[in-house]
Amino acid sequence: MNNLVIRRSQLVEAVIVGTPTTGLRYKFTEIPNLSRNNIILYGVEAYSAAELSVSPSGKTSIAAADVDKITVTLKDSENLEFVYQMPLYDLIRSNNAGFITILQPRLINLTDCYIELNATSGISAGEVVLFNFFYDFATV
Amino acid sequence: MAGLITSLLNQLKELGLVREVGIPFAEENKTVYLPFRNIGTGIRNYFYADSQLDGSNCTIRAIEVIDNTVLSVSIGTTPATDMLPAEILAQAYMGFSNSAGEDLAMLPLPVMIKNLNSGKFCFFDMSNHRWGDCYIVLTDTSSISETGSLAVRVWYTKR
């Protein structure tokens, strides 16, 4: 079995803006580091409060107990949903025998990626779902 | 389909973006201690400079954060400081920087605790960092005091 090797990573947030609502798309915030068009994403990991209780921007992370109410969609530079409604639970390393999710390397469209809530109980406005995007430059 | 996956895996291996678990991957390792000297949210607590761990002298292959389950009391600081439990370590992340001040990677500490991740190492391929510019940031200071410390095991290969 293989596990991901980290060369560069960037913490990314998806904020629950306003009253938590099912069916809404909560988009990822823009990160200038990842907006350069020569960035290739090859792995992703998600965090709940069990991994980082407060985000670097000072927002409260989603509780570990609420992780199973959220799905994640990632879109590439051609607007294709190459990961569609993946359960957030599956992206948390400690839930998956310590393995980090490995992706086919590709350019991403960060601000079109989003999370969705399938239930809202226990989730509060202003909470954040944290991700780590593992990337390298397009020369690889 | 199996051929497609094998091809992709081989491609990732050739690029060094994945590594087999359970086989030797580093020549040496050492434990580095970081007593918390600046308790405040968002403040960078820098590791002491260690040229042996600089990217100019080694490639970091894995990092392991030690919690109080693995080691109850720090042995490397005077006075000895208390190792922190994983719940408290979830209030901090580690950052890697190069000498130009560019942030290379940021990871929450529990992600690098082996016993929380089924014994899996957190693999790196880091050779453009400067150890003295790597740091820990607290995003929440609850239950953290200057009697707490962090121990990090660095697995590396000399260059």
Q: What is the pLDDT of residues B55-71, one digit of tens each?
A: 999 999 999 999 999 99
Q: Determine contact, residues A91/A44, Cβ cutoff 8 Å.
A: yes
The pLDDT-based confidence of B3 (bands split at 50, 70, 90) is confident
Residues in A whose CB is inside 8 Å of some CB of B read 1-11, 33, 42-43, 45, 47, 49-56, 58, 93-94, 97-99, 102, 104-105, 130, 132, 136, 140
Residue B61, token pair as written in the block: 């292959």
- For residue A113, pLDDT over 80 is answered with yes
Instruction: Provide the 10 A C-beta neighbour count for residue B146.
Output: 11
Select from A84, A71, A54 the least CA-distant residue to A118. A71
> Do the Cβ atoms of A132 and B106 come within 8 Å?
yes
**Does B16 map to a domain?**
no
Name the minimum distance, in Å, from the CA of A134 to any CA of chain B.
Answer: 8
* C-beta contacts of B108-112 below 8 A and 24+ residues apart: B108/A47, B108/A51, B108/A52, B108/A130, B109/B65, B109/B136, B109/B150, B110/A50, B110/A51, B110/A52, B110/A94, B110/B65, B110/B86, B111/A45, B111/A47, B111/A51, B111/A93, B111/A94, B111/A132, B112/B63, B112/B64, B112/B65, B112/B152
Going from the C-alpha of B48 to that of each of B37, B51, B106, B133, the distances in angstroms are: 12, 10, 18, 9
pTM of the predicted model, to two decimals? 0.93
Residue A16 parent element (H or E) = none
Nearest to A140 among B8, B15, B107 (CB): B15
* pLDDT higher than threshold 90 for residue B41: yes
B138 is in which domain, residue-wise? 24-158
Yes or no, beta carbons of B139 and A5 under 8 Å apart:
no
Nearest to A2 among B19, B103, B124 (CB): B19
Residue-level pLDDT at A77:
87
Share above pLDDT 90 across residues of chain A, in percent, rounded to a whole number? 80
A55-100 pLDDT, tens digit per residue, is 999 999 999 999 999 999 999 988 999 999 999 999 999 999 999 9
Residue B47 lies in a domain: yes
* Residue B100, domain CATH: 2.60.120
Q: Is A33 helix (H, G, I), strand (E, B) or coil?
A: helix
> pLDDT at residue A110 above 60?
yes
The closest CB to that of B16, out of A5, A94, A97, belongs to: A5
Task: Give exposure, A18-42, as e/b (b: 16+ Cβ within 10 Å).
Answer: eebeeebebbbeebebbeeeebbbb
Query: A91-95, A129-133, B148-152: lowest mean pLDDT where?
Result: B148-152
Domain count, chain B: 1
Q: What are phi and psi of B51, to 5 degrees?
A: -65, -25
Residue B1 lies in a domain: no
Q: Which of residues 17-36 of B touch A (CB under 8 A)?
A: 17-22
